[in-house]
Amino acid sequence: MSANASISDWTAEMRGSLAGLLLVCSAISLPATGYVMEEITLCTYGDDKQGNITFYFRIAFNHQPVLGYDNHEKMFFPYQSIPQMNEVVKKFTTEFNTKPDMLNYVTSEEKRCKDEKKTFWNDTVERRVKPSMELFFPEQFAGEALPVLICHVWGFYPQNIVVTWIKNENTVLRNETQAVRSGDWTYQVFTKLDLRGSLPEDNYTCFVEHPSLDEPMMKTWKAGLTSVQIVKISVSAVVFGLGLITLIAGVLCLKNAKRSSYIPIPGYNDVQ
């Protein structure tokens, strides 16, 4: 049998003995009809790669902690949550602290917690997803009648992003923003620029910087007709052209009809 298996068997036996004694004490001292024993191992992670890991180990009876582990002092300690069980818990606290197997077991659980943190950071927190972007001029945005230019950036991770508006090579607005969640573990952001006072020759660029990008992304828009306006004008021109052709064809048909119509010659019937 391996050493790890021996430790596992011993710690399981010790925890089983503790559970048995607690159940006996509770049956004698507490007016309850059901009992729940829990062994809780918990890891919490901080917000940086360097550490900030907190490891918790405790044994609870009916959701009340009775015995815990101090990962700074490397020792077990009793809770005073259930007075009727204090003597039993103190006994097992001393047993756990004097026997190296139980301490080794909890230390190994703490190490597993730290090892799993590396995978957590590499696969989740430190992942990079490149954004997509679109620059457009809507007829109306969020009920506003004012002319605005919209830069929509979406599908990126992590959250921090910088969106800069550039007019004719001059920065007019720089927005370092905390974007909003999209619901699929990515983020998105809408930024708008007021276009009142813009001239036909003005150029506007949306400039995006994000940790996932080797180089910034950018798109440029020039003042003028929008695609919707171009479509409307094109359709109107086609309709006008068809109407004009129909009008010309009608006039020509009318003229041809007049030329080919029968006109009586005065006195022709008298000669006959």
Q: Sign of the CA dihedral 253, 256, 260, 261?
A: positive
| CA–CA separation, 110 and 116 (whole Å) | 10
Q: Sign of the CA dihedral 252, 254, 257, 258?
A: negative
How many CB atoms neighbour CB 144 within 10 A?
11
Highest average pLDDT, of 7-11, 92-96, 139-143, 212-216, comes from 212-216
Stretch 243-267: mean pLDDT: 67
Q: At a CB cut-off of 8 Å and minimum separation 6, what does 203 contact?
A: 167, 168, 220, 221, 222, 223
| pLDDT score of 6 | 39
- The secondary structure element, H or E, covering residue 172 is strand 170-178
| CA–CA separation, 221 and 215 (whole Å) | 20
pTM to 2 decimals? 0.45
SS3 label, residue 143: coil
pLDDT digits (tens, 9 = 90+) for 2-54: 334 333 444 555 555 555 555 555 544 555 556 677 788 887 766 555 556 77
141 or 4: which leads in pLDDT: 141
Q: At a CB cut-off of 8 Å and minimum separation 6, what does 250 contact?
A: none
pLDDT digits (tens, 9 = 90+) for 205-220: 999 999 999 999 999 9
